[in-house]
Structure 1
Amino acid sequence: MKAIIKRRISASPASHFSAHLHPLLQRIYGSRGVSSDAQVKTDLSSLLKPDSLKGLPTAVDRIHQALISHQRILVVGDFDADGATSSALAVMALRSMGATFVDFLVPNRFDYGYGLTPEIVEVAKQFSPDLIITVDNGISSISGVDEANRAGIDVVVTDHHLPGSELPKACAIVNPNQPGCEFTSKNLAGVGVVFYVMTALRSQLRSCHWFSDKGLDEPNMADYLDLVALGTVADVVPLDHNNRILVAQGLRRIRAGRSRPGIKSLLNIANRSEHRLVSSDLGFALGPRLNAVGRLDDMSLGIQCLMTNDENLASEIARQMDDLNQDRKSIEGSMQQEALNQLQNIDVDESSLPFGLCLYNGNWHQGVIGILASRIKERYHRPVIAFADSDEEGMIKGSARSIPGLHIRDALDAVAASHPHILSKFGGHAMAAGMSLEKQYYHEFETAFDREVRRQLTEDDLQAIIFSDGELASADINLDLAQLLRDGGPWGQHFPEPMFDGTFTLLQQRIVGEKHLKMVLGVGDDKQQIIDAIAFNVDTECWPNPQATHVAVAYKLDVNDFRGKQTVQLLVDHISVVNTGLRE
């Protein structure tokens, strides 16, 4: 992918920070819209209060009634990491608060698709629930909630996805993005919403002496923050101040060795140290292994891993999850090569590709098309939708990934408005969405989608931009600064980890792990300072490059911990050859 590097501009005056904060961190925070020490604090006392969450009192009252009456509660989740952590948190919290009958159900993505559908309500009836609580879904489940109502099953919806023009007729809806909700953090993940609901339920139970009357130990909701951190980071929601608090608190518990056995086992199999864990480890090591279960198998396995207190069982399930993730990588790799072959058949010149790119292969795995769309989007920097055949006769499923500047769900909404017969259903976020349509309409949709993307984006928007926090002096490329930046997070979506750029002498280069470029770089013209660097997932047709003597790189300053010895290294996000003008 070709890219241009732009320097970030601080949007906040550094004078609002206390003098003890490192000047570089002041500048970095300022460029991310943080203007004071208060916005950096990640203690729980700074967490937003739940009072302004619309629908919360009604939801808590209904769940409270279910506890009093010993009613059967069924948690209906989603098949991704956010849905898994949400389901695990809800079930464990309810059981700790004295729920007699509580279980969970996750729709198999291949048989039922997403959310509380009428078909899933039929499956749910086997549990004889009096109350269904949806987690990380439900806001678009109009017909599913109607079916539950007809069956005499109450539904409490907890979700964070954007609502459509119609809301489900649930007995309560808790979603910061629903109309009229004044909760200021609209970026909660599904697990964050569930955490607020369960915390409010505990408060209500405490106020009516529920725990003392029942002889129950009052649960400490902070015990679930490891799940909240994992689900929040893995779902790639923006890390606003409130989410940074939730993630930071979860990371602290994990580092202190107080996480659940399932998370410890996943960290162990991913070769990550719990004591040095950062948010990116949750996103790149734990999240994929959890998501792989929902993509290739049944997410119930992942939820079981998160819920068990048996360390041996957690380790065994973690190994199964790791195997599934390896399978996912293999499937994804072959699908990506097939997709690239399709693109070469369209045109080898990127400038001639559609603005909105659609790819279809009936044999692709439904569970992996989202990752495929993401990989192709990263390579060509344009909105991408990957399609595969659905289990439903004559239907295909698509998974979309977008780029900054195009709200993908709104784009699909515009296509549906102008071509009402094409899309059977769709939903999603600004950057990701899913849809279903009849196969016969694929080419019509392909044209309509490209037309809509061209209406909203220009050619300049298709130019990838890497935002840099500037160039570091050679004296600043050291272990102390790397550790300072590491501790300055948690970093993540919309609060990106510090990125720097510079030109280095390329002293050594070799491929490791099949497609990662390991380098030794010289800093400055005298090359007296030598630094290790690694670029992941490079184009092996371009690298190693024996003609390259100097490279321009965009990088993160990282602490490499190898056999107990810590050294500074560069994590390279983008590399280009300076002396020849060639680019990756």
Structure 2
Amino acid sequence: MVTHLTSESIALSRLKELAAKAADVISAHRHVRLISHNDADGLTSAGIMCRALMRKGMTFQTTITSRLAQDTIDTIKSSVSAEDLVIFCDMGSGQIELIRQIENDVIVIDHHMPVGESPAKVAVNPHYTGIDGAIYLSASGTTYLVAKEMDPDNVDLAGLAIAGAVGDKQLFGSANLHILEEATQAGVVSVKKGLKVGDGDIADVLEYTPEPYLDITGDIKKIHDFLDILGVKGRLSELSHGDLKKLTSSIALKLAKHASPEAVDAAIGDVYYLEKELVKNVYDFVAMLNTCGKLEKAGMALSMCMQDASVVEEIRQLTIEYQRSIVANIKQAEGMLQQGKNICYIIAKDMDNTGMISSTMVRYMHPEKPCIVTNEVEGIVKISGRGTRALIDKGLDLAYALREGALAVGGQGGGHNIASGASIPPGKVQEFIDIVDDIVGQQSGEESGDKK
């Protein structure tokens, strides 16, 4: 145990050294061109960096994008001066050919598995020091370490890092635990036991919240019947200890029937409250950020991360409506699920929320196989793949499977071993599915082929 702690400490120390190098490069510039991802982790990464730059009196221009592609690089090249610093957050580790096109100084702050040697002046990534960025440190956590090196007073930004980790469904061990401990000691984050959902009337929350996805989700009559049997009602944050315990125990029993073990852990346990942010409950905050990202309202999300209270109520209402649509999409997708030998898959067209759908399927309904959702939209097929940590332990690597499957049919893909994406040309879907099915079978020794 002592050896493990020492190696973990060394890995974090080495990562902080990389963060310090990045902070030094940032301090040597006057203007920053910042590019970040449009999910909760990418948005909180951008929020952390923007607030850290503002505090240093530096000017910056921020772009939020769903993926790093050639058009983003072209936009950057046409909008920077020779002396500007370009920073990528939550992207850039797997796109070295694109990064190489930028002649300015570049910093990459990311947590995705690096592919090849980065052309960046400084690349800060937990994988470089032996910390698994898919599980133990988000991009926002990595960005927070850079911000802390820029100024120790930036510890108050730790709440955004916690939100990013929650958004990426990470575990609070290793580097994430270090940040959480810093945050709680500084009074930036508080922790309470409970149901890991946003706040509100419990019946409403169970109706529109897609996680945890229960057999009563979206069905208001079943929800009221369930709550009547328990004798529980009111706002979640105002429930008595006894009522909260009854509710969480009953939900745990529901989840135990079909869901993966990690889904139970994800639903019940420590709830983080962001004491320095405009939205305190981390699950409300994350849902609101993800909604903005999906609805192409990233500017509003970034404003919320930067303490603009005027946008909060509008985002909150958008989020409730959007979550209702996610639940409807999941219910529709349930009837479209197909079984391969080693994967579950859905072939769709113009379907929204494919990442959430694939995640819900594997976490709450069919944890024995990873789930792949293909979605043809505007002349391209976009793909979301999700697994569980139990499947990863058996050898699953979706980043490899989706990347190789996409390359084989003229597309591209990548991401994390547990959550990955790809894009391929139309007309290649079944070929892609068959290739990925075979790769996943090889990764697991084809043990899952005849099991269900």
Q: 1:142/1:73 Cα in 2 relative to 1: closer, same or farther (>3 Å)?
A: same
Q: Conserved in 2, the CA contact under 8 Å of 1:53 and 1:182?
A: no
CA RMSD, Structure 1 to Structure 2 (Å): 3.7
- Tell me which of 117, 138, 149 is aligned to 1:189: 138
> The residue matched to 1:160 in structure 2 has which SS?
coil
Q: Conserved in 2, the CA contact under 8 Å of 1:59 and 1:174?
A: yes
Letter of the structure 1 residue corresponding to residue 424 of structure 2 = L
Q: 1:361/1:279 Cα in 2 relative to 1: closer, same or farther (>3 Å)?
A: same
- Tell me which of 36, 48, 57 is aligned to 1:98: 57
- Please say if 1:163 is aligned against 2:114: yes
**Where does residue 379 of structure 1 map in the other structure?**
365
**Where does residue 405 of structure 1 map in the other structure?**
391
Letter of the structure 1 residue corresponding to residue 33 of structure 2 = L
Q: 1:460/1:440 Cα in 2 relative to 1: closer, same or farther (>3 Å)?
A: closer
- Please say if 1:133 is aligned against 2:125: no
Structure 2: distance between partners of 1:90 and 1:224 = 9
State the shift of 1:146 in Å. Answer: 2.2
**Where does residue 213 of structure 2 map in the other structure?**
none
- Please say if 1:121 is aligned against 2:73: yes
**Where does residue 287 of structure 2 map in the other structure?**
288
Letter of the structure 2 residue corresponding to residue 303 of structure 1 = L
Q: 1:418/1:433 Cα in 2 relative to 1: closer, same or farther (>3 Å)?
A: closer
**Where does residue 428 of structure 1 map in the other structure?**
415
Structure 2: distance between partners of 1:250 and 1:127 = 36
Letter of the structure 2 residue corresponding to residue 65 of structure 1 = A
Structure 1: distance between partners of 2:132 and 2:351 = 40
State the shift of 1:128 in Å. Answer: 2.8
> The residue matched to 2:413 in structure 1 has which SS?
strand
Q: Conserved in 2, the CA contact under 8 Å of 1:423 and 1:435?
A: no
**Where does residue 344 of structure 2 map in the other structure?**
357
- Please say if 1:279 is aligned against 2:271: yes
**Where does residue 162 of structure 2 map in the other structure?**
229
Deviations 1:98-139 (A, max 9, x none): 31x1232101x3xxxx13x33113333564351111111111
- Please say if 1:63 is aligned against 2:57: no
Structure 2: distance between partners of 1:359 and 1:458 = 22
Q: Conserved in 2, the CA contact under 8 Å of 1:72 and 1:128?
A: no
**Where does residue 570 of structure 1 map in the other structure?**
none
Letter of the structure 2 residue corresponding to residue 371 of structure 1 = M
Q: 1:341/1:184 Cα in 2 relative to 1: closer, same or farther (>3 Å)?
A: closer
Letter of the structure 2 residue corresponding to residue 288 of structure 1 = A
Letter of the structure 2 residue corresponding to residue 170 of structure 1 = A
Letter of the structure 1 residue corresponding to residue 109 of structure 2 = T
Report which of the two has the higher share of helix: 2
State the shift of 1:459 in Å. Answer: 3.9
Q: 1:168/1:199 Cα in 2 relative to 1: closer, same or farther (>3 Å)?
A: same
Structure 2: distance between partners of 1:405 and 1:268 = 34
State the shift of 1:175 in Å. Answer: 0.7
**Where does residue 494 of structure 1 map in the other structure?**
none
State the shift of 1:255 in Å. Answer: 5.8
Structure 2: distance between partners of 1:411 and 1:223 = 35
Segments of structure 2 that go 5 or more residues without pairing to the other structure are 192-197, 206-234, 242-268, 274-280
State the shift of 1:89 in Å. Answer: 0.6
Segments of structure 1 that go 5 or more residues without pairing to the other structure are 1-11, 17-32, 40-45, 203-218, 258-265, 347-351, 464-584
Structure 2: distance between partners of 1:58 and 1:242 = 18
Structure 2: distance between partners of 1:193 and 1:376 = 30
Within 5 A, what are the aligned runs for 1:1-150? 50-53=13-16, 55-66=18-29, 71-99=30-58, 101-107=59-65, 109=66, 114-115=67-68, 117-125=69-77, 127-128=79-80, 130-149=84-103
Larger Rg: 1
Structure 1: distance between partners of 2:346 and 2:405 = 21
Within 5 A, what are the aligned runs for 1:186-225? 187-202=136-151, 220-225=153-158
State the shift of 1:220 in Å. Answer: 1.1
**Where does residue 454 of structure 1 map in the other structure?**
441
Letter of the structure 2 residue corresponding to residue 295 of structure 1 = K
**Where does residue 476 of structure 1 map in the other structure?**
none
> The residue matched to 1:405 in structure 2 has which SS?
helix
Letter of the structure 2 residue corresponding to residue 434 of structure 1 = G
Give the alignment's TM-score, normalised by structure 2.
0.71
Q: 1:445/1:55 Cα in 2 relative to 1: closer, same or farther (>3 Å)?
A: same
> The residue matched to 2:411 in structure 1 has which SS?
strand
Letter of the structure 2 residue corresponding to residue 187 of structure 1 = Y
Give the alignment's TM-score, normalised by structure 1.
0.56
State the shift of 1:47 in Å. Answer: 11
**Where does residue 183 of structure 2 map in the other structure?**
250
